[in-house]
Amino acid sequence: MTFLKTLPTTLLALACLGLAVPPLAAAAPPKPAKKAVKKAPPKKPAIDYTGEFVNFGQWKEVQQFMGDMEQKHGVPIAELEKLFLELRYIDAAVQLVKPAPPGKPKNWQAYRARFIEPQRINAGVEFWRNHRDTLARAEALYGVPAEIIVGIIGVETIYGRDMGKFRVLDVLATLAFAYPLAPNRDTRMAFFRGELEASIISARQTGLDPLTLVGSFAGAVGMPQFMPGNIYKLGVDFDGDGKVDLRNSAADAIGSVANFLVAHGWKREQPATLAYPASMSPAMAWEKFIDNGLDAKFRAEELTAAGVSTATPLPPGMLYGLVDLQNGSEPTEYWVGSNNFFSITKYNRSYFYAMSVVELGRAVKLSMKETL
């Protein structure tokens, strides 16, 4: 009876009549739940490097600029009008120079990971080996260690592998006359007008077609990403071929980087260590040394008295600055930077940048030793 109780009603009736009971069909297994299909993240829109025609020459500010160029440098307005007819408005440059949205915390470790990584280190080793003699010559002449020069060129363009795809005059004209709304808009527009002026004058003096210059979204050029004004003022013909070519001459890039740092305060007599990890006193008297600009201003004794301590004693007779490297929700790293550390911040006004240059140069140098 136990068996019969388990049969469905129809089959139970057949069994009671003595008829054969067909075998029970196996219960269908439950259908597996459909996995949620992950939607692919939306593709970033392709960067528009070519821009659009806006006839800059009709803009009042551009007409004034052309008049100033003729008056200051003797460039005929007709020549400039013809040039500006070729230029295009690059909206991508406008979007890229906008400041980051407020509230997003800075994260040194995330920033560091972009630059201190195997591809860039290996490329640095190759660059150093290929230009060992040139780097040694620059170090002897300018007093800037090879590892710092290597660090800068590596951070900037991975040793010439990524020098930018924007036509320089396009982005300079766009940012000189259509910079996005920002508290420092007038200052930035004046800066880019100066860079546009330098580009045009330099091209005329060297016989270069200014429309062939290609660089970053802000107009920086070549392996070391010099702005045109700095090429004009601080570029070095380090290979002796009679011209400064930061796009194709590694020697010119090396000499120009070293010359830039010396022009911005690098001192050859200072120790090779540029930054010292620091521990901070809970009393926090040291807070007054934070956010004091991009210069070394304080004596070692002042920092020590305020509760800043370093594992290695700070060399006497030098000036220092307190560097805070924020790590998002993680604790901030503190370092004491020397005068030469702050010279690197003149290349790019950022503690993160300067520290990444130092650490990339150190990593490449260490890798060089390991592979010898």
Per DSSP, the residues of 131-176 read THHHHHHHHHHH---HHHHHHHHHHHHTTTT----EEHHHHHHHHH
What letter represents residue 359's amino acid?
Answer: E
Closest to 75 (Cα-Cα) out of 173, 172, 196, 168: 196
- CA atoms of 259 and 238, how far apart (whole Å): 10
State the CB neighbour count (10 A cutoff) for residue 218. 20
Q: Torsion angle, CA of 343/346/352/357, rounded to 10 degrees?
A: -60
- Catalytic annotation, pick one of 156, 269, 330, 359: 156
What letter represents residue 168's amino acid?
Answer: V
- 3-state SS of 315-361 is CCCCEEEEEEEEECCEEEEEEEEEHHHHHHCCCCCCHHHHHHHHHHH
284: left (phi over 0), alpha (psi -120 to 50) or beta: left
Instruction: Dig out the tokens for 299 from the structure.
Output: 């004596």
Calculate helix-pair angle for 146-157, 132-142, nearest 10 degrees.
120
Q: Does residue 156 have an active-site annotation?
A: yes
What letter represents residue 133's amino acid?
Answer: D
State the CB neighbour count (10 A cutoff) for residue 296. 22
The DSSP symbol for 22 reads: P
User: C-alpha 131: how far from its chain's center?
Assistant: 23
Buried b (16+ CB within 10 A) or exposed e, 79-89: ebeebbeebbb
User: Which residues make Cβ contacts (< 8 Å) with residue 282, sequence separation at least 6?
Assistant: 307
Could you give the 3-state DSSP secondary structure of residue 108? helix
Instruction: Dig out the tokens for 219 from the structure.
Output: 């107009």
The catalytic residue positions are 156
